[in-house]
Amino acid sequence: MTRYLFRRCLWMLVTVAFVSVINFLVIFMLPINPIDAIAGDKATPAVMAAIEKYYGLDRPIYVQYGLYVWHALHGDFGVSYQTSQPVAAEIAQRFPATAELAAAAFVLTLVLGLGAGLAGGFRPGGGADGTLTVSTLVFNSLPTFWLGTVLLYVFGFKLQLLPLGGYGEGLHLRHLLLPALTLALTEQALYARLLRAQMFEVRHEDYVRTAWAKGLSRRVVYVRHVVRNALLPVVTFAGVNVANLLSGLILIETVFGWPGLGLLTYQSLTSFDVPVIMGTALLSAVLVVLSNLGVDLVYMVLDPRVTYQ
């Protein structure tokens, strides 16, 4: 187990390094000059040359990347071109809002998705299963930004029951409800379909037939054997889903004006703020590899047959 974790950590470092190289090359291959975003349209050639030298953009790309990695290893991800604030400080300031929204959306998604999946999996072909199929098709086909806009219009503008976006002060559950519910409604369909399909498949396994032959009750068979094993693919999907939620929800945070990493990423992309783009992309890579490691560890708890040598 220790050797496995050590090897996985090495591969995590390699993966993050590879992502940083690709991200760095893609950004600097784009036909957009970051100096134009910093200096503006009316800057003179002398001013642009001074800005280029100040930010080190006049150096070869491999030198720029080497300096970026060296500073990143010391916790310095550069300075934002737009705000002149350290990128690490901006990410740290925005991350709690994204984590709060991600946690609320994830809990709602699990409640709605797993509940619908269990209802359909326990009695396939029944009324709950039919309702699950229809709701899955509907919510899985709705764009997140469209659903969020509709909910804002209905509950915020027409009924005036909830705020029209923003973060709010103090206890801001009313501001949190609509963006979290929007994410949950679009994501829960995937959880429900996946769990329902896995339960249908696991019900026909030999060990389930053996459990029925032993005379175990329906509750024991489903809880100990069917649901537990059907949750394994759901755990994999949930791990990736959590990483995506934490790394920033660009569309949903932009629609609702939620001051998290998603809105920060959108603002940095529109202004071509290269250090912020690099910082958020690197954070996303780290969160994804950590979530994959967490999924492997949870697998061992859910399925004793899984071992890592």
Rounded average pLDDT per 10-residue block, the chain, 309 residues? 76 84 82 73 79 80 86 86 88 90 89 81 68 75 86 87 77 83 86 81 73 71 73 77 75 88 88 87 84 74 58
Residues 94, 122, single domain; the answer is yes
Residues 230, 276, single domain; the answer is yes
Residues 38, 115, single domain; the answer is no
Helix (H, G, I), strand (E, B) or coil at 123: coil
Supply the pLDDT for residue 301: 67
Supply the pLDDT for residue 125: 65
Could you tell me if 272 and 232 are in contact, meaning their C-beta atoms sit under 8 angstroms apart? no
Domain assignment present for residue 81? The answer is no
The range of the structural domain enclosing residue 172 comes to 88-302
DSSP H helices, 30-86, are: 34-39, 45-54, 61-73
**How many structural domains are present in the chain?**
2
Could you tell me if 257 and 165 are in contact, meaning their C-beta atoms sit under 8 angstroms apart? yes
Residues 62, 123, single domain; the answer is no
Each residue's pLDDT tens digit, 134-154:
777 787 788 888 888 898 889
Could you tell me if 174 and 204 are in contact, meaning their C-beta atoms sit under 8 angstroms apart? no
Beta strands in 106-259 (DSSP E): none
Supply the pLDDT for residue 127: 67
**Local structure of residue 128 (DSSP, 8 states):** H
Residues 60, 200, single domain; the answer is no
CA–CA separation, 200 vs 144, rounded Å? 29
CA–CA separation, 92 vs 114, rounded Å? 32
Domain assignment present for residue 46? The answer is yes
Supply the pLDDT for residue 90: 92
Each residue's pLDDT tens digit, 93-113:
998 888 889 889 989 988 888
Supply the pLDDT for residue 128: 65
Closest alpha carbon to 242 in 112, 139, 103, 143: 103
What CATH number is associated with residue 271? Answer: 1.10.3720.10
Domain assignment present for residue 83? The answer is no
